[in-house]
Structure 1
Amino acid sequence: MINVSFLGLMSGISVLLKTTVIVVGIFEGSNHLEDNGALEGYNDKIMEIVNGYQSFDGKFAEVLPIIGLEKDFPVVVVIGLGKSEDFDENKALKVGGVIYSELNRMKVPDASIVINTDSNVSANIGYGALLRSFKFDKYFVEKKDKNSVYLNKLLLFSKSDPQEVTALFNDLKAEGESIFLARSFVSEPPNILYPETYAQMIYEELSKVGVTVEVFDEDYMKANQMMALLGVGQGSAKKSRLVVMKWNGGDESESPIAFVGKGVTFDTGGISLKPSKGMWDMKYDMAGSASVVGIMRTLAARKAKVNAVGVVGLVENSVDGNAQRPSDVVISMSGQTIEVLNTDAEGRLVLADALWYTQEMFTPKLMVDLATLTGAVVVALGNNQYAGLFSNDDSIANQLIVAGNESGEKLWRLPLDEAYDKLIDSSIADMQNISTKGYGADSITAAQFLQRFVNGVPWVHLDIAGMAWDYEGTEICPKGATGFGVRLLNRFVSKYYESH
């Protein structure tokens, strides 16, 4: 992880000259650098060169390297900040990521960043660089050049008090470390990360930061009649697990916020077998559970003044002679019966028992579940744009949408309605796990299914199937697992539910 530190702008040019590269920002259409005088007599020289490039005008994320400004002077990288009126924390985050990518491409070991901003924006520039620095390269015998990390140190100069910026950054760093953990879990191959090993990894990692972790085996789940969850894993040699995480940072009389995650460590589809092409992506079908692990770690690492519980159901959906069959009927923990018509609609079966268990055991004030639940939500909302949101509570839904807009992890609300609910009625059981009417709306009927296991508790379902993995990468995330949901939920908790 890259080392990020902060200094005041008054530290002077002598400190800047000791680094390999100096990064300075400029707003679109501006005739001056955003350095607040830190570059002293060099500002005019840099602007003269910038103005000589007609193709560079400070548009967002444009990059212009300047070499040889003076003898022994560091390389200067000018980065476009876009329109000044649009520059906010999320833009700062992306700028930090772009800076990291450009400097690492240049193979420089260290750099100074001089962008005249307030403490929040300065901290987010550093945070963006940190988020973009994630690497999952543990299985390379020899590191390939494209996977190499060259940039190890960033020094940010801010007009704000460096101690204030550092304190803000440290909270962000705690969140970032948790996102890295979530990304790493999602990236692991399924022969390494499966229910038993995943549960142990969660226990080891979260115990370090003060989260109480309990791991429950199949006997415990059988005793609690969690047959919907257990049915999913019965065709696998890997034994299913239920993991409960608790963080008590608030008043002991306060009911907790609950986060519930789908943890299908590999999804073959079961007997309703998936096509072989693309099945390799199904290692990330546990991304919802990784996000729950990430938010629980974040709250503990920053000592959040809130009570929270995380519950994840961990299964492998595989095929053997004992695998669940299309048309099987299972009894859920709630006592409701489910006709399983498609074994590839398994995530909702895991969540059905996990949601009911969470309500019964912890009486939460609200529940948020996260799952890579349906391909249909990707058809509706696309990849890496919006996650689908379903809720029985308008107020909490709106809070999450605001938190999503502020964090850059955006949500789009989709409907729940009795007309859709009727589509999952079964002729031989209380319900079936898919609609067979041929009307589409598969993301909605999946959410309607989950709602049948919510018993009077404010609840939100986030379908993150299009958000868990980025096939191209973004300014703040390399290609691969995103850790989506951690930043969103951390903002949601801190803004609306944490004691300040």
Structure 2
Amino acid sequence: MEYLVKSGSPEKQRVGCVVVGVFDRRKLTQQARALDFAADGLLSSILRRGDLDGKLGDTAVLHNVEELLCDRVLLVGCGKEREFNDRAYEKACAAAIKQLSALGGVDAAFYLTEQNVRGRDDFAWQVKSALLTVEENLYRFDTCRGQGFESPRQKLTRLVFQVPRRSDLRAAERGVNEGRATAAGLKRAKDLGNLPANICTPSYLADNAKELAGAHDKLKTSVLGEDEMAELGMGALLGVSRGSRQPARLIVMEYNGGAKKDKPIVLVGKGVTFDSGGISIKPSAAMDEMKYDMGGAASVFGAVEAAAEMNLPQNVVGVVPAVENLPDGDAYRPGDILTSMSGQTIEILNTDAEGRLALADALTYVERHYDPDAVIDMATLTGAALVALGSQAAALYGNNSPLRRALRDAGDTVGDRAWPMPVWDEYQEQLDSNFADMANVGGHLAGSVTAACFLNRFARKLRWAHLDIAGVAWKSGSEKGATGRPVGLLTQYLIDRTHDDA
């Protein structure tokens, strides 16, 4: 899709379709009124006949309006004007792109970006949000279809986001640039997440990281194999890998967009490419969805790609401990004690709590090999996060209040929300072990919290945050598929840092 920005009157647009809004009770927006005036009241007449009353998400298409230069006019219901907030704006944009995709035009002038959105006064945000909504609704995953399958052809190839004044074009251009880069990162994350585990192995992820580095001059990738990890003492990560025939990989992607002296932001993503639970095997129902257990890794890939696409003046490092968790004669067992890279020992009470083991060694690796400004890990870590927050928000933990606040604000900006949770010392005693420095689980209460407390033991020297994304990384049911979250949050955080440093 080609995205452009422009300032101009809707009645003067010579395009396949002009998209304008209608509020509740048939109230025309300013842009719709301009069309209505040029068309001698045709829009008002149609609304009076009841074809559209402005309910949020409803649409109506007008063809060949003689007084206008465009082929079609798409009216989009925006709901109550006083309630036109982020969520309503996204729904209106989604309704518009679905209708545009069903029409025959190849281009459209999109005037919803001129609408006032409650709490927003930045056309960069409105254009970026609209672009991401468009890309979300156009996304398809057909990689694994057979040779006879033909993907539906997308006729719409050019979308022009409109702003009121020429002075608004600079902000709109920034919205397009940020939106394109974020959309590219989201697509990579979703594609990786949707691949089956027999294709998306730890080695596949390593190769994908190398290909990504080959496409960007400021990005380089290195990969550690199991022998190298063993030399470093990564007993926790390698313990998880023992039951699989797929060798583990530690993938390191370094994007050097800032000055050499600038401390990097390090993103660490859980890369369990399939999680059977190991010896503590999961129930068979919906186990296919455990291919999504590398959602944290996928989001690291996406955020690193977005940073490179935007040429952000930041140093960003992506670290992915990639491993598969399967039962085998050599698999690690409940009761085993593993020695982590940090030297801390871990009693295994449940082999299905494997992601934290891989992340523990990855965090120690980051501490010893970098001097990071901040470290953010993300993982589909616990079902308890889904129970606590549903699919609306990731669970946000950390040992630094400004970092937690910045991540929460970034998520609020892009609608990829995270909600703060505690890592109080009182929870740490649930991880006590009679035989090792700690257990890998803390019992059935506060499961997401104790998982974060476990990771905190390996991040005490770091300015650290943890996102438990088990509830947001994928959808089930008829809409089953990876969401790409929290690429949007991470990318916005990096953008916000760039603006703060300017």
TM-score, normalised to structure 1, is: 0.90
Match of 1:340 among 336, 348, 370: 348
Could you tell me which residue of structure 2 aligns to residue 482 of structure 1?
Answer: 483
Q: Does 1:112 align with 2:120?
A: no
Could you tell me which residue of structure 2 aligns to residue 182 of structure 1?
Answer: 189
What is the CA deviation profile of residues 321-353 of structure 1, one whole-angstrom value per residue up to 9, with x for unaligned ones?
A: 111111111100000000111111000001110
Report the secondary structure of 2:270's partner residue: strand
Q: Does 1:42 align with 2:39?
A: yes
Match of 2:412 among 400, 405, 418: 405
Q: Classify 1:112/1:207 alpha carbon distance in 2 versus 1 (closer, same or farther; 3 Å).
A: same
| Structure 2 unaligned regions, length at least 5 | 116-121
Q: Does 1:8 align with 2:7?
A: yes
Report the secondary structure of 1:310's partner residue: strand
Q: Classify 1:169/1:43 alpha carbon distance in 2 versus 1 (closer, same or farther; 3 Å).
A: farther
Q: Is the 8 A contact 1:33 1:47 kept in 2?
A: no
Q: Is the 8 A contact 1:9 1:38 kept in 2?
A: no
What is the CA deviation profile of residues 19-53 of structure 1, one whole-angstrom value per residue up to 9, with x for unaligned ones?
A: 1x332112334632342766351272112212322
Match of 2:55 among 56, 59, 63: 59
User: Which letter maps to 1:15?
Assistant: R
User: Which letter maps to 1:419?
Assistant: E
What is the CA deviation profile of residues 476-500 of structure 1, one whole-angstrom value per residue up to 9, with x for unaligned ones?
A: xx75211111111122222235532
Cα shift at 1:318: 1.2
Could you tell me which residue of structure 2 aligns to residue 453 of structure 1?
Answer: 458
Q: Classify 1:441/1:143 alpha carbon distance in 2 versus 1 (closer, same or farther; 3 Å).
A: farther
Q: Classify 1:424/1:176 alpha carbon distance in 2 versus 1 (closer, same or farther; 3 Å).
A: same
Q: Structure 1: how far apart are the matches of 2:40 and 2:488?
A: 37
Q: Structure 1: how far apart are the matches of 2:480 and 2:105?
A: 22
Cα shift at 1:225: 0.3
Cα shift at 1:146: 8.7
Q: Does 1:273 align with 2:291?
A: no
Q: Structure 2: how far apart are the matches of 1:119 and 1:392?
A: 34
Q: Structure 2: how far apart are the matches of 1:107 and 1:466?
A: 38
Match of 1:197 among 192, 204, 210: 204
1:28-427 matches, within 5 Å, as 28-29=24-25, 31-35=27-31, 39=35, 41-42=38-39, 44-53=41-50, 56-67=52-63, 69-70=65-66, 74-87=71-84, 91-106=88-103, 109-115=106-112, 116-117=114-115, 119-120=123-124, 121-141=126-146, 149-161=154-166, 164=170, 165-209=172-216, 210-383=218-391, 385-427=392-434
What is the CA deviation profile of residues 63-82 of structure 1, one whole-angstrom value per residue up to 9, with x for unaligned ones?
A: 22334655997332211223
Q: Structure 2: how far apart are the matches of 1:43 and 1:327?
A: 80
User: Which letter maps to 1:374?
Assistant: T
Equivalenced residue count is 488
Q: Structure 1: how far apart are the matches of 2:329 and 2:396?
A: 37
User: Which letter maps to 1:97?
Assistant: A
Shifted more, 401-410 versus 140-149: the winner is 140-149
Report the secondary structure of 2:280's partner residue: coil
Q: Is the 8 A contact 2:396 2:466 kept in 1?
A: yes
Q: Is the 8 A contact 2:13 2:109 kept in 1?
A: no
User: Which letter maps to 1:23?
Assistant: V
What is the CA deviation profile of residues 282-329 of structure 1, one whole-angstrom value per residue up to 9, with x for unaligned ones?
A: 101000011111111111111112222111100011122111111111
Q: Classify 1:10/1:104 alpha carbon distance in 2 versus 1 (closer, same or farther; 3 Å).
A: closer
Q: Structure 2: how far apart are the matches of 1:256 and 1:471?
A: 35
User: Which letter maps to 2:58?
Assistant: E
Q: Structure 2: how far apart are the matches of 1:147 and 1:447?
A: 43
Q: Is the 8 A contact 2:337 2:347 kept in 1?
A: yes
What is the CA deviation profile of residues 68-120 of structure 1, one whole-angstrom value per residue up to 9, with x for unaligned ones?
A: 65599733221122344454566544433332222224465443323334732
Q: Structure 1: how far apart are the matches of 2:477 and 2:268?
A: 28
- How large is the RMSD of aligned CA atoms in angstroms? 2.5
What is the CA deviation profile of residues 134-189 of structure 1, one whole-angstrom value per residue up to 9, with x for unaligned ones?
A: 11112222676895544333233332438533343022101111111111010111
User: Which letter maps to 1:450?
Assistant: L
Q: Structure 1: how far apart are the matches of 2:98 and 2:329?
A: 49
TM-score, normalised to structure 2, is: 0.90
How many percent identity over aligned positions? 36
